[in-house]
Amino acid sequence: MEGNDPADPAELADLPLFAELDAEELDRAASLLTAADLPTDAVLVAEGRSGGHLVLLGEGSAEVELPDSHETVSIEAGAVIGEMAILDDAPASATVRATSAVHVFFCDADELDELLELPGVHERLRVLSKDRHADNWSRVAEPIPFTLADGTSLTLRPIRRDDAAAIERFDAELSPESRRRRFLGAATLTPSMLDYLINVDHERHFAWVAETAATPPRLVGVARFIRLREDPASAEFAIVVADDLAGRGLGRFLFDALGVAARERGVTTFVAYILWENTAMRSIVNHFDPDVRPDEPGTMYATCAAPDLEPGPIRGAIVRLVSR
């Protein structure tokens, strides 16, 4: 790389990988990294390159050219590049190319072990890698078409980080009653809540969205599960359906599709807090002989087996998608 310079600790402090380091630790990280300015189209990591080469994107943008696919995934400043090869001790699985002029920091094999020994860096690298892998997967997942009993054509796909605007529109279109059932009260969708809903890892926190088959599509349903920390084989689930599709079987389909994804990830039990008056959700859960107990006034706590879909093309497509 041309134009290499020593890394600046102040610049490293803005990178998520080093967010928890103190000043002395940032100085040490800077001594192990080199900074460089590279032009558009520069290859930051080449597919097939052996592990041990870490790149941090300080400024600018790049894209991942996914193997066995014509798809690319954009990455922005702050991203870690090449971490999967390091963690898996394997050649890089994709090429990453700059889509603008970029300012990067890189660390070669000789310094890498020492960099990973800095407090929290190795674990943070694993978290960032897992998050990016989930984001890449959700972006290239092919939507699964399905049809409701009344003939309505919809598609099912994993939620993505770029769904923020669609989720905001979906939430804004909910009736006050649907919103109250969704939040078990009168809560509104805050920016932090929106960030939580779209930034999922699809392992501990998984989410489907259903959309109309029109162009452009309209988001009409969301289903998610979140594993219980004390019992990873159990997960709390939630389902929300657009008011104009209520009572047409979408909620039950999303519940079953969520169960398929959950079972593929080792979750066998679903739990939920449900308003007693939410007859639609209670009807869905009642098909699975739930264990029900009162909770807060007006609320029930239900436990049931994670559902499943009948064997067939849609179930097969879901299993193939979530097991990739």
pLDDT in tens, 264-275: 999 999 999 998
Q: How far is CA 244 from CA 13, 26, 174, 225, in A?
A: 48, 54, 9, 24
What mean pLDDT comes out for the span 120-146? 84
Distance CA 322, CA 39 (A): 37
Q: How far is CA 34 from CA 104, 108, 261, in A?
A: 8, 9, 42
Higher-confidence position of 93 and 104: 104
What mean pLDDT comes out for the span 221-228? 96
Distance CA 159, CA 272 (A): 20
Residue 191, H or E segment:
helix 191-198
Distance CA 246, CA 270 (A): 22
Fill in the DSSP letter of residue 193: H
Q: CB–CB of 22/57 below 8 Å? A: no
Place of tokens 């006050």: 176
Q: How far is CA 220 from CA 116, 149, 296, in A?
A: 44, 16, 29
Q: What is the pTM of this model?
A: 0.73
Query: What per-residue confidence (pLDDT) applies to 2?
Result: 47
Instruction: Kindly report the CATH number that applies to the domain delimited by 5-140.
Output: 2.60.120.10
Q: How confident is the model at residue 18 (pLDDT cuts 50, 70, 90)?
A: very high
Closest listed residue to residue 194, CA positions, set 166, 153, 233: 166
SS3 1: coil
Segment 162-167 long-range contacts (CB within 8 Å, at least 24 positions apart): 163/198, 163/209, 163/219, 164/194, 164/198, 166/209, 166/219, 167/194, 167/197, 167/198, 167/219, 167/222
Digit-coded pLDDT (tens) for 24-76: 999 999 999 999 999 999 999 888 776 567 899 999 999 988 766 667 888 88
CATH topology of domain 144-322: Aminopeptidase (3.40.630)
What mean pLDDT comes out for the span 164-191? 84
| Ranges in the chain annotated CATH 2.60.120.10 | 5-140
Query: What per-residue confidence (pLDDT) applies to 76?
Result: 86
Q: CB–CB of 29/107 below 8 Å? A: no
Q: How far is CA 35 from CA 56, 202, 220, 277, in A?
A: 9, 34, 46, 60
Query: First vs last Cα of the chain: how many Å apart?
Result: 35
Q: Count of CB atoms within 10 A of residue 286's CB?
A: 13
Fill in the DSSP letter of residue 174: S
| Ranges in the chain annotated CATH 3.40.630.30 | 144-322
